[in-house]
Amino acid sequence: TALFNSHIPHGNASLLLRRVKVQDKGRYKCYTTLIQSVIVEITDEMVTCSSQNIYPIPQVAWATDPPSAQEALENSTTKTTDHKGLFTVESMLRILGNVSNYTYFCSVISADKTQIWTASRKNQEDITQEEGYALSIPCIAPHSLQNFSLTWTFDSSNDPIVILRYDHRTRHSFNLWEGEAELDQDLLLLGDGSLVLFKPQSEEHSGTYTCSFSGLQSRHIIQTRVNITVSRTDSHRCNGTDPVEAAHHKGLNTAASCIIRHDGADRNREPAQSDAQFELLRSVPNVDEDSSVTSLPDTKEEEDEEETPLDGSDGLQPSNLQRDGFENTKPVLSIP
């Protein structure tokens, strides 16, 4: 009868034979289960490192870049076994300060110390940029890697897609966003896998970008949230409600007119001109070639000053202020 205890500490997997018989004579081999992978994840307050299906019991070690004092790396580690006697380890470390300040490294070490599997994770600061301008999303390996592969994924609705993949050994690459994004091949050889977006657009390119370096017994992940904003020169908000297209006209306040998109219909909204704007408009002569401003008798001008302008016109003819929903770029004074 043989007794095997998977809970023997320090990697001691001794096999105890009871009532040894002649037929039990022979060679016995002890097998270990190698570390297959290590996963590091970051939540709001904790960094979690896990690995499974390992035998004997492995050790877990933490580190950061920039380096942190050992007492700051105190962690809580649990080790459980399944019905086969294989171990799963999970270690949790509290985030130090701002989550984007550090890269977190977790190493799972085999009992005989012949295998060390290291994974790292860094959540970078969010990037916000106006659409239409080239953008570089940083992704630099924490140390020199040999024969690595690099994968970029993009997630805008909890459904990540692989947009780019590169194999350092074969130099082969796959680019789903050909013509929209690329890697610098020369920088890749130096461990810089930053992704360049040529002309990112608000709807198509806003989301979470994740780059992953995979090498021999190592994996390093860098995640960045990118927000591409609508160009200020093309669009802004009117009264803080719906997005609108600005009507830019020479000599007039750009906020004086806007087109509000609502249920597929365009509606004009014209804020009232200020007194200063009204006086400015009255001082501008008509620039049409076939018309001119005619001087009137003083008595007539006095009568004009006593007349009350129509509501919304401010003394100007509405037909000259509105043209297809925009303010007229050549305002004409109303002359009786």
45, 63, 61, 44: which is closest to 142 by C-alpha? 63
How many CA within 13 A on the CB side of residue 203? 0
Assign 23 a pLDDT band (cuts: 50, 70, 90): low
Which segment of 30-44, 253-267, 304-318 scores lowest on mean pLDDT? Answer: 253-267
CA–CA distance, 115 with 128 (Å, rounded to integer): 41
| pLDDT more than 90, % of the chain | 52
DSSP state letters, 11-45: T---EEE-S--GGG-S------BPP---EEEE-SS
- The per-residue pLDDT for range 109-128, each reduced to its tens digit, is 999 999 999 999 999 999 99
CA–CA distance, 163 with 322 (Å, rounded to integer): 47
- The per-residue pLDDT for range 222-252, each reduced to its tens digit, is 999 999 999 776 544 433 434 433 333 333 3
Q: Could you give the domains of the chain? A: 32-122 (2.60.40.10), 124-230 (2.60.40.10)
**pLDDT above 80 for 310:** no
Please provide residue 199's backbone torsions phi and psi, each rounded to the nearest 5 degrees: -135, 75
pTM over 0.85: no
